[in-house]
Amino acid sequence: MAKASEPMKAKLGGQPFSDPAWVFERKLDGIRAIARREGGPVTLTSRTGKDLSPSYPELVEALEAEPATDFVADGEIVAFDGSQTSFAKLQGRMQIKDPRMARMTGIPVFLYLFDLLRFDGHDLTGLPLRTRKGALRRAFSFHGPVRYTPHRNEHGEEFFREACEKGWEGLIAKRADSVYSHSRSGSWIKLKCSREQELVIGGFTPPQGSRRHFGALLVGYYEDGELHYAGKVGTGFDQRTLADLGAKLEALEVPESPFARDGLPRVARWARPELVGQFAFSEWTRDGKLRHPSYLGLREDKPAREVVREVREA
């Protein structure tokens, strides 16, 4: 059962499409954030309810400078690498919980708002998306690091081609008349240019040669309540990541494999399946493994049990 605090989530779609009943937004490669104010200070929370405010003090300050004092808005926190939103770059802020240290990283962050759930004492979740987006546009001045997420009407195929040419992750297609539901809904659809997937880390292989801490991550996804093995990931790590992630894995180490399937490496160490990572890859193999995977970073905004294999709909 969906919780009233959960944000609305999109399903993975198939081919891009055009439809006057839909609007299309850029898919941002960051972390989801709910901005909330009830007459006092602003709070930012993840989609799992974690307090993000200490990690992004400049976003809190920008929202508190707005005249609005009663709102709940939905958005995405991002960092940029050139013109592209970069989940890997955002990692430099995600792990820091001290506001002063977060600022000292020198990594600029932005909050792109795309929906308004409550404003000035009124619940807006039952209103059509177009109406909510219009209310959002009027509710904030969108100064500094707080941005409005623009959209295109109807022409999704043309916008998708443009998005992929620009190197974006993809688009989010949304039914213009859809209400806001606290669950995953077919009224919002992800149209991806790139191949990325959230996966659970269930183990690791020993380091070899000059590498320290671990060799490769052993990752998987849930299906019918079981963790299915999706392969090894041995690239995408710098020395700091190897040390930090290695320490986390050692703290979670267990004697038995959490994976349900065979085909696991003969030499491996196992971990409680609690950490969720973001991974890029070229394709899925016929036996359900990742081809050419690379580690992008940890996700703290998604429970491990929610991680499933994303399959494009026809």
**46 and 140 assigned to the same domain:** yes
**184 and 229 assigned to the same domain:** no
**130 and 152 assigned to the same domain:** yes
CA–CA separation, 149 and 151 (whole Å): 7
**35 and 84 assigned to the same domain:** yes
CA–CA separation, 55 and 5 (whole Å): 21
Choosing from 164, 192, 220, the residue where a domain stops is: 192
Whole-number Cα distances in Å, 83 to 31, 137, 191: 17, 23, 20
Whether residue 1 is contained in a domain is answered as: no
Buried b (16+ CB within 10 A) or exposed e, 66-78: bebeebbbbbbbb
Whole-number Cα distances in Å, 109 to 30, 79, 190: 10, 5, 23
**180 and 201 assigned to the same domain:** no
CA–CA separation, 96 and 304 (whole Å): 21
Whether residue 123 is contained in a domain is answered as: yes
**58 and 92 assigned to the same domain:** yes
Whole-number Cα distances in Å, 193 to 57, 203, 282: 32, 29, 11
- Catalytic residue set: 27
Query: The domain that contains 237 carries what CATH number?
Result: 2.40.50.140
Tally of domains in the chain: 2
pLDDT of residue 287: 86
- Of the candidates 202, 178, 197, the residue with the CA atom closest to the CA atom of residue 302: 197
pLDDT of residue 284: 87
Choosing from 153, 172, 192, the residue where a domain stops is: 192
Query: The domain that contains 173 carries what CATH number?
Result: 3.30.470.30
**176 and 162 assigned to the same domain:** yes
Whether residue 312 is contained in a domain is answered as: no
**186 and 300 assigned to the same domain:** no
**179 and 214 assigned to the same domain:** no
**178 and 205 assigned to the same domain:** no
Whether residue 65 is contained in a domain is answered as: yes
CA–CA separation, 113 and 238 (whole Å): 32
Choosing from 192, 225, 244, the residue where a domain stops is: 192
Question: Structural domain of residue 296, as residue ranges?
Answer: 196-306
**89 and 60 assigned to the same domain:** yes
**217 and 97 assigned to the same domain:** no
Whether residue 95 is contained in a domain is answered as: yes
Residue type (1 letter), 129: L
Mean pLDDT, contiguous 10-residue spans, the chain (314 residues): 70 89 96 95 93 96 95 97 90 90 95 97 97 97 95 95 90 97 91 89 91 93 94 92 94 95 87 95 87 91 90 57
